[in-house]
Structure 1
Amino acid sequence: MTEEGEVWVLADPRAGTAAQALGIAERLEVPFRTVPLAWGGMARLPWPWPTLAALTPEARAQFTPPWPRLVLSAGRRSAPVARWLRQRGARAVHAMRPGPVARGFDLLVIGQHDAPTPAANILPILGATHRMSPARLAAARAEWAELAALPSPRVALLLGGQVRGEGMAPATAGELARRAAAFGGSVLASTSRRTGAGAREAVAAALQGVPHRLFGWGDAGPNPYAGFLAWADAVVVTGDSVSMLSEAMATSAPLCVAETTDATRHRRLWRSLYAAGQACPFIAPVSFPRTPLDEAARVAQEIRKRGWI
């Protein structure tokens, strides 16, 4: 039996990146230790060898023996740290491209949209791993049972925004809200940190007179995001968010992609989802059968099959 401390999860400060490693760990259903990472000024460098140099002194102080049997990580900056632990005997499983050096990992979990080169230590997945497990969705459905009072179809509208910039254009956000309302039931709208206050206000204005629930980034009270996914009869996600698109695939609801960015990498992601029958462009209200996708569970199964826990 795997004991506490034998599995370490390197948790990047960015929640979406950390969730990719944590999601895999949670599907392993064994005890694990979360090691929060904090980056110093040297984290900007593309470290080509195993090192803890990019960490702050406080973060480095966490790295003491006994060393783990398995380390899970995600994101370019954590890759040299995972490789450093691998030098001390750990198996290293890393989500996302690891930066300039792809060797030195036992398993690399990479989205199909990043066109990974086939290799024995490469596991291509659809989208990204995350923490929106079947158990979490079931718990959220119970926690947010009040959403059942909203008329069907309940359309979850999940808005992201530019990675760098001034947020989503209010006109775009308002138009998406109006189109989501055209499904004829109710709208469960959520805005993210990148959406911006102007876009949130535009969504609120567009949904006046429409049965809805709106939760914006920074709003007071518990975040109903997981509840929105759990109760949605259809999900509309802006195509700029790999995380939200991947989390939406954990549900059985039809998934529509609002193609709000020209980024090549994101467009490759959309095409991979369309080809797999997991999503369609958000052109008009649609309904189509979908099988929930749990790529984190598939990664966990691969780890078990290789005998690493």
Structure 2
Amino acid sequence: MSAGPERVWVLADPRAGTAAQAIGIAERLGEPFRTVPLEWGRLARLPLPWPTLMGLTPESRAAFVAPWPRLVISAGRRSAPVALWLKRRGTRIVHCMRAPGSGGFDLQVVGAHDGMPPAPNRIEILGAAHRVTPAALDAARTRFEALRDLPSPRVGLLLGGPVRAEGLDPAIAAALGRKVAGFAGSVMATASRRTGAAATAALAEALSPVPHRLHAWGSAGENPYLGILVWADVMVVSGDSVSMLSEALVTAAPIFIAPLGDEGPRHRALHASLQAAGQARPIDDAPTPFARQPRDEVARIVAAIRERGLLTHE
């Protein structure tokens, strides 16, 4: 968005998945907004419990000049002190995820897997906020209509990889590919940056017995990710990705979670929360279908912002 006296600022963490939570909310508000990229200095590693810009690099700090916005949307622990610094200048704050100073937020968005107690300024959602919208899915239905011609059941496979490692073990990718190919009429798959070339090649080999479309990270052509969400009869999502699991909730397809083996407590809590809500099941239950309703959690967040008058004037 262009610079100027926008009423909404988005504090964009360098981590794409974290920034997407704040950006996704801003996009759904339908208001012009300014994206403020955050660059972290060494002090950002500390749990700064007060309103401050100390965690930012000097270059990033220079972007914080009046006129101040009406609403700031932020996500992640490190951006919380920055958002609260802006609140001292008269802004209102919508913050995603756990963070110090949560009592100072006008609205805090947390996942059910975070296990935080209810609070007047807190809304609990399944998964995390994201940028996939019903409108984007409607557009993708036409743009990727060719996927409809694949044999049913069409299985959408969203594959990630280790959060803090170089590439997924090819043996894990191959095993998952063989499992999915065993119950699919066809497979529509996409691999992420964390998957790695070797694991992507192993997945392609494992899927070779069935008709499939596999988009490798960085390959030519548009990633059919949204088309997969639209046209899949069944979704299989690797358990490492909070974003992909959350985005799959917008669809009506049964969701099966495929752990990759190194998920930590937070990811396991996410899996449990989705299963407890009847929104997902373990991969071992596939392909038995089950009914579920789409969950547009970002729409709930936007409704809460408007109901609380966070964009209105005093």
Distance 1:62 1:113 in 2: 34
Matches within 5 A, 1:1-309: 5-98=6-99, 100-261=100-261, 262-283=263-284, 284-309=286-311
Moved over 4 A (4+): none
* 3-state DSSP of counterpart to 1:201: helix
**161-170 or 13-22, larger mean C-alpha shift:** 161-170
- Give the SS at the match of 1:265: helix
**Other structure's SS at 1:172 match:** helix
- TM-score for the superposition, normalised by structure 2: 0.93
Amino acid at match of 1:46: P
Distance 1:125 1:209 in 2: 39
Distance in 2, Cα, partners of 1:296 & 1:10:
17
Instruction: Give a deviation string over 1:184-212, Cα, whole Å, max 9, x none.
Output: 31111111121122211110111113211
Partner of 1:171: helix, strand, or coil?
helix
Structure 2 Cα separation of the partners of residues 42 and 220 of structure 1: 40
Structure 2 unaligned blocks of 5 or more: none
Deviation string 1:110-160 (CA, Å, 9 cap, x unpaired) is 111110122111111111111111011111222222222222221111111
Using the TM superposition, name which of 84-93 and 191-200 deviates more. Answer: 191-200
Cα deviation for residue 238 of structure 1 reads 0.9
| Inter-partner Cα distance in structure 2 for 1:44 and 1:296 | 29
Partners of 1:15 and 1:285 in 2: how far apart?
Answer: 32
CA contact (8 A) 2:5 2:68 kept: no
CA shift in 2, pair 1:158/1:308, >3 Å: same
Given that residues 4 and 31 in structure 1 are in contact (C-alpha distance below 8 angstroms), is that contact kept between their aligned partners in structure 2? no
Structure 2 counterpart SS, 1:72: strand
Kept in 2: contact 1:38–1:56 (CA 8 A): yes
Secondary structure of 1:103's partner? helix
Output the amino acid matched with 1:253.
A
Deviates more, 1:3-12 or 1:147-156: 3-12
Look up the equivalent residue of 2:205 and give its one-letter code. A
Check conservation: 1:160, 1:195, Cα contact below 8 A.
yes
Question: Percent identity over the alignment?
Answer: 62
Report how far residue 260 of structure 1 moved: 2.4
Distance 1:62 1:177 in 2: 46
Give 3-state SS (helix, strand or coil) of 2:208's partner: coil
Q: Shift in Å at residue 4 of structure 1?
A: 6.1
* Aligned partners of 1:116 and 1:122 also within 8 Å: no
In the aligned structure 2, how far is the partner of 1:64 from the partner of 1:143?
A: 42
Which shifted more, 217-226 or 238-247?
217-226
d(CA) in 1 for partners of 2:97, 2:230: 26
Where does the alignment leave 5 or more consecutive residues of structure 1 unmatched?
A: none
How many Å separate the matches in 2 of 1:209 and 1:185? 10
Question: Which has the larger displacement, 222-231 or 291-300?
Answer: 222-231
Q: Encode CA deviations 1:209-265: one digit per residue, 9 max, x unaligned.
A: 321111122222222212211211111011111111000011111100012235222
Could you tell which deviates more after superposition, 296-305 or 261-270? 261-270
Alignment partner of 1:213: what SS?
Answer: strand
**1:30-70, CA deviations, whole angstroms, 9 ceiling, x for partnerless residues?**
22222122222332222111111222222222211110111
